[in-house]
Amino acid sequence: MTTLSQVLQALIPPRPASLVNPPPPWLLNPQTIYLEPAVEQLARGQQILERFPDAERILVDSHWKIPGLFGFEGNVGDWNKIKRDVLVLGVKKSLRAEPNSRSSDFIAPSHANGCAMACSYCYVPRQKGYANPISVFVNIEQIAAYLTRHATKLGWKAEPSQIDPIYWVYDIGCNSDCSVDAMVSDNVRDLVSLFRTLPTAKATFATKFVNRDLLSYDPQGKTRIRLSLMPQRMAKVVDVRTSPIAERIGIINDLHEAGYEVHLNFSPVIYYEGWQADYRELFDQLAQVLKPEVKDQLGAEIIFLTHNEKLHQINLGWHPKGEELLWNPELQDTKYSQMGGRNLRYKRGLKAGLVEEFNALLNKHLPECRIRYAF
């Protein structure tokens, strides 16, 4: 009898490490790889270790609890150096699709978390402490098998939603950036291949990095990429180590031609003097570059900034300039999370007006783009 694992292996056959294009050394050049013992026994772990043969390997009991890396305040000064020089490999033990209601129907079990990029507003570092390198999970076949069972059990979506009119949508990059992850291993390629075969489901992820290798993945309309955009003047300050905005816009037509559904992710929208003019320029640039067929399928999600006190304190140790834009208590209200963390959002009266103004600007300058949600 053919097992599910054998079926998945046929769908997503392993590729030699040499065929995975490397990340640029300025972004990721691992000198140290922390790995759980099981990593060396799995094909994906072997692939990644072959990819970076010169890196020192340090065995750890848990990818989440690494002494001297996570939770060590002295690492803040080496924030970006650690992102470039350190890679963590582990096995994803808890497999669960978390319900979602905005960018996707479900958040898929992570194939990776952390990032080589360093956007100063990113929520992922809040959980790890004072370092946030990429952690890759090498049991991709188990993750794919879980997603197959989950989607199969759901059956077809009963009615359309703002997320998608036909398919159940799974966010495969909620805790990382898949465009960068794809230069470390084949996890992203495997998941794109998997969703191509699932009749009732679609994958999605947001990205701030241009990786043209994604053009060869043949998604056949079953993966939605959300290009994260903001005015370049702001991106230069807070989107640290990412692709320039013009490059992100420049790949949109190609992604659509390669078989992706492409949406826009305006997140976070940061309030500052002159923001309207900057966004008008951004929308006009999109209107000039995007082909008519791309505009016809375009959707957008709009999310105004939420900041966090713990992340604010971390950022002060490596990038205080960005905090001048992100941390403005006189304009923001405090809201405590379920875990007791202090989050700051724009004051309710201010934010309502900003959302309305942003939507009006987008509708005027890029009227083809459907606003899926805004808050």
Token digits for 250? 């420049």
pLDDT score of 123: 85
pLDDT score of 316: 95
User: Could you identify the residue written with the tokens 């990819």?
Assistant: 51
Distance (Å, whole) CA 161 – CA 157: 9
Of 100 and 18, the structure prediction assigns the larger pLDDT to 100
pLDDT digit string, tens, across residues 3-49: 444 444 544 555 555 456 789 999 999 999 999 999 999 999 999 99
Adjacent-strand bridge partners of 207:
227
The mean pLDDT of the chain is: 93
Strands 134-137 and 112-113: antiparallel
Domain residue spans of the chain: 4-374
> What is the pLDDT confidence band of residue 78, given thresholds at 50, 70 and 90?
very high
User: Residue 228's closest CA among 341, 335, 308, 115?
Assistant: 115
pLDDT(366) > 60: yes
pLDDT score of 15: 55
Distance (Å, whole) CA 55 – CA 87: 9
Q: Which CATH architecture has domain 4-374?
A: Alpha-Beta Horseshoe (3.80)
User: Radius of gyration over alpha carbons of the chain, in Å?
Assistant: 20
pTM for the predicted model, two decimal places: 0.94
pLDDT digit string, tens, across residues 227-281: 999 999 999 999 999 999 999 999 999 999 999 999 999 999 999 999 999 999 9
Alpha helices in the chain (DSSP H): 4-11, 43-51, 79-85, 125-128, 140-154, 178-181, 187-197, 232-238, 245-250, 252-257, 275-289, 292-296, 309-316, 320-326, 348-365
